[in-house]
């Protein structure tokens, strides 16, 4: 067990003696070599929770055990065990990515620092061409990748990544996720803090949805999705927005926005739905369609809004 959070509550005082419950009795565990997704909108309580794991803030109640020892009793030890990529951009100034990452590696690993690790990371993320470019001339995406490399150049047992793919182009995002997975193959555990639900579903082993300080759901992506709905959904692009398409009777709910139509159905009706969709294409009413199960994004919106999502 890498991290054991039990009943953590954190309350802040607001104006006129008001109270803001940032974390409300949160309990979860993270195992060795696991990617744990912490999903929530801005203000959900994610940063407050991370600060307590790092020993930067103290819970009002509850316990946080990091590799068997209390974070409250040994906050400095907690920070030595964890590697963090903050949400904000690291101000590189005139430092190049190679200099910044090498400096961080030497600080964390000391005599055990291997310069080849820098080259391996840059090669894996396809950023070697920019390794010697001063920070103030880098794009936001490459500054973000540099910040990521600084966090994982000499990773602790627990790596905390706060929105690691912000500003990163789609190709290098794929490379980044592979580097993260390679970390866990070596036994490192990762907390992924994000509001990008689509990416999280593909990357995490387990996930928790945090809303107004409370966990609304926890588990594997499949478990979280099935807790909301076991339905399937189909999305269609109609040939003309004015086209009147008769939605089949087995549709449980439907929604149209311009040329985009979505409806949900019971999994037992998938074969009939595909036949119906093919018929609509043959008639020229529909250009294309896609069939998929309920997504983490659907579950997230349903849980946080209290409304069913097609």
pLDDT at 43 over 80: yes
Q: What band does 217 get if pLDDT is binned at 50, 70 and 90?
A: very high
Residue 244 has pLDDT above 50, yes or no: yes
Instruction: Go through the chain and tell me how many residues it has.
Output: 310
What is residue 243's predicted lDDT score, i.e. its pLDDT? Answer: 63
| Contact between residue 284 and residue 243 where contact means Cβ atoms under 8 Å apart | no
Query: How much is the pLDDT for 25?
Result: 97
Residue 257 has pLDDT above 80, yes or no: no
Query: Is the model more confident about 135 or about 299?
Result: 135
Residue-level pLDDT at 89: 83
Helices then strands (H, E): number in the chain?
10, 14
Is residue 96 within 8 Å of 133, Cβ to Cβ? yes
Per the CB < 8 A criterion, the answer to whether 26 and 8 are in contact is: yes
> What pLDDT is stored for residue 17 in this prediction?
77
- Helix, strand, coil content of the chain in percent (nearest 5): 40, 30, 35
Is pLDDT at 114 greater than 90 in this prediction?
A: yes
Whether the per-residue pLDDT at 306 is higher than 80: the answer is: no
Determine the Cα–Cα distance for residues 165 and 196; give it in Å rounded to an integer. Answer: 9
pLDDT score for 242 = 56
Question: Which runs of E-coded beta strand occur in the chain?
Answer: 3-13, 19-30, 35-39, 61-66, 69-70, 82-85, 158-162, 189-194, 206-211, 214-219, 232-238, 253-257, 260-265, 286-293
Instruction: Identify the sign of the CA torsion 267, 272, 273, 274.
Output: positive
All domains of the chain in start order, with CATH: 3-226 (3.40.50.300), 231-293 (3.30.70.250)
307 has pLDDT over 50: no
Residue 103, pLDDT above cutoff 80: yes
Instruction: Give 302's pLDDT tier (boundaries 50, 70, 90).
Output: confident
Count of C-beta atoms within a 10 Å radius of residue 241: 10
Write down the pLDDT at residue 158: 98
The first and second tokens of residue 273, run together, are 């739905």
**How confident is the model over 69-95, as a mean pLDDT?**
93
Region label for 284, one of left (φ > 0), alpha (ψ between -120 and 50) or beta (otherwise): left
Determine contact, residues 270/231, Cβ cutoff 8 Å. Answer: no
For 223-246, what is the mean pLDDT? 81
Statement: residue 4 has pLDDT above 80: yes
Q: Confidence class of residue 309 from pLDDT cuts 50, 70 and 90?
A: very low
Q: Which of 7-16, 169-178, 207-216, 234-243 has the lowest mean pLDDT?
A: 234-243
The reported pLDDT for the residue numbered 289 is 94
Confidence of residue 24 (pLDDT cuts 50, 70, 90): very high
CA distance 87 to 103: 20
**pTM metric for this prediction:** 0.84
310 falls in which pLDDT band (50, 70, 90)? very low
By CB neighbour count within 10 A (0-12 exposed, 13-18 middle, 19+ buried), where does 125 fall? buried
User: What is the band of 308 on the pLDDT scale with cuts at 50, 70, 90?
Assistant: very low
3-state class (DSSP) for residue 17: helix
């Amino acid at each position: 067990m890498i991290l054991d959070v039990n009943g953590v509550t954190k309350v802040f005082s607001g104006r006129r003696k008001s109270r803001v419950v940032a974390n409300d009795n949160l309990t979860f565990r993270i195992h060795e070599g696991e990617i744990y997704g912490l999903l929530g909108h801005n203000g959900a309580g994610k940063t407050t929770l991370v600060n307590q794991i790092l020993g930067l803030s103290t819970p009002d109640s509850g316990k946080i055990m990091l590799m068997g020892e209390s974070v409250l009793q040994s906050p400095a030890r907690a920070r030595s065990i964890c590697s963090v990529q903050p949400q904000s951009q690291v101000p590189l100034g005139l430092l190049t990515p190679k200099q910044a990452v090498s400096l961080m590696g030497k600080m964390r690993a000391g005599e055990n620092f291997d310069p080849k690790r820098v080259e391996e990371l840059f090669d894996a993320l396809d950023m070697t061409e920019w390794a010697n470019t001063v920070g103030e001339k880098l794009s936001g995406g490459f500054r973000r990748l540099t910040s990521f490399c600084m966090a994982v150049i000499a990773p602790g047992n627990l790596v905390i990544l706060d929105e690691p793919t912000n500003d990163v182009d789609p190709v290098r995002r794929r490379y980044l996720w592979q580097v993260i997975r390679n970390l866990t193959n070596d036994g490192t555990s990762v907390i992924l803090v994000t509001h990008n639900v689509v990416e999280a579903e593909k990357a995490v082993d387990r996930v928790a949805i945090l809303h107004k300080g409370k966990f609304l759901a926890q588990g594997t992506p499949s478990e979280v999705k099935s807790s909301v709905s076991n339905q399937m959904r189909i999305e269609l692009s109609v040939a003309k927005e004015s086209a009147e398409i008769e939605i089949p009777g087995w549709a449980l709910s439907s929604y149209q926005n311009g040329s985009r139509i979505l409806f949900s159905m019971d999994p037992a009706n998938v074969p009939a739905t595909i036949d119906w969709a093919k018929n609509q294409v043959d008639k020229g009413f529909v250009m294309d369609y896609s069939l998929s199960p309920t997504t983490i994004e659907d579950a997230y919106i349903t849980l946080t809004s209290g409304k069913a999502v097609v």
